Structure 1
Amino acid sequence: MSRIAYFGPRGTFTEQAARELAPGDDLMPVETIWAALAAVRKGEADAACVPVENSVEGPVAATLDGLAEEAPLVAVAEALLPVHFTVLARRDADQVRTVASHPHALAQVRHWLERNLPGAEHVVASSTAAAAVAVQRGEYDAAVTAPVAVEHYPLRVLAAGVADVPDARTRFLLLRPPGPLPEPSGADRTSIVAAAANRTGALAELLTELAMRGINLTRLDARPIKGNFGLYRFFIDFEGHVAEPRIGDALAALRRRCNNVRFLGSHRRADEVAPTIGTGAGNEDFVKAVDWVAAVRRGEQA
């Protein structure tokens, strides 16, 4: 049985994702995303489950920075969870004066809170579950939590299925130390982070390498490099698996363009969307092209 560190405490969406990604394994809640990653790097856990992006609030900065710094970790699986919240409280709705939750959660139920708890002050907590713990302790009146929180915290359910954006989703990653990768599935995602040179066209050059090979991007984010004002890292997700010839060819080209490239994983997409591949951009096209060059080098013509 593996030990999985996850962004806790108990009762977060990350716990739900960890249950899906590592069923039957030993789940270990930790206080922060950085702590979850550190547990794997120190050998205290076999893997970490953390959020990486939300369809409403965008990328999770702590996860991106944590993957770019310190010892490498590699994503081997992902989960995509619908984000519908449960509001837990110590008292009736008309007595709620404070509502606590993680900033992303508060942002995703802002309109619901304005309509249903208009006089309540919004208080930021380190996680949705930490907000529930604070309500239990009597620090706040209500908490916006993940549905799984009702299993851990004996509080009153004021509302369930709460979401300003009904189809909001969060993507979570299961991260392990570098090692054997999952086999290609035909519906995969590859992720890298690159610190491009600070000059005109540097990012365009990186993206051109993917475009020239008909590789479709699924995400592009920029994060500042700490201690280097004005310099940025680029987090790039794209369709395909590193085992495929076309993806391997693209990664080699990116490495030539930018020495500071870190591979963050290749794994099956949670939504199981197959890649869009244009004419001349299939794996067999790359194999045939390499074989043709090899034939030319042997002095053969076909």
Structure 2
Amino acid sequence: MSIRLGYQMPNYSYGTSVDQLFPTVAAQAREAESAGFDAVFVMDHFYQLPGIGSPDQPMLECYTTLSALSGVTERVQLSAMVTGNTYRNPTLLAKTVTTLDVVSGGRAVLGIGAGWYELEHQQLGFEFGTFAERFDRLDESLSIIVPMLRGDRPTVNGRWYRTETAMNEPRLRDDLPILLGGGGEKKTFRMAAQYAQHLNVICNPEEIPRKLEALEQRCAEVGRDRSTLETSYLVMAVIDESGDKARAARDEHLRRTGVDLSALDPERRRSVESRQFVGTPDDVAADLQERVLDKGIDGLIINLIANGHEPGIVELAGSALGRLVR
């Protein structure tokens, strides 16, 4: 497994009718594959997220969507960015991602995290719990899922879950990769060091050196060579051949979510813009090289939240960014 360049779709508000929604998703996945992306990711949520849109905006169920995408692509790996552990029993999740691997011909990646969106839990009836409880549940869940993906039959009588020689058949392989996503230096990074092949780091770019130093420490604590754990950075980008058009698309997207950059004080504006990469393909590539890759991150997982659904935009991104990570 290697994901040096991934494409994430965090948004299904394309202005299309419902019958055209999945064709628009499928077109992006095919374009990402053609443009040389290693993987395609979709959200594991049931409501749209704050900061992207209102809760009632379109949100497709993750694993149904990934299975459908497996039928319209041939090469790209397929994953959630990331599965919310609280939404599924771990044995069901192991079965689900293994089935995706079988139907896709060995292209599934289990992207997983602790879960955080309280409104979904409250309204849909999922147990939310405290921050610490969610990470404890994730740890216990991984102690079940990992053996099931590897062909073992775990018996667990834990605080959160119970299994008895849990079987997981059929499997196409015993090395289905696991990706953890997050920025927690103690809990998330420790679980990544223990269980994962890939860590997607979520943070402000200036925090990357500290995050990688913490990851080095977590790997040392479990006796793992840090170089065996691939890293990537989650990027929100707006790319267009016209830099002015890209910035206008970014500003319009922010206005739709209630943020007017021109009205913010300088410190708040810098905070909002620090995790955005906006401009021409060459502008964005140079910015990512300097602020992310030169800091030691291995790869990039990019979303094009404002205009990725427009034909040709994913191709622009793949062409410019692929040169940075190969």
TM-score normalized with structure 1 length: 0.29
- 1 or 2, which has the higher strand percentage? 1
- 1 or 2, which has the higher helix percentage? 2
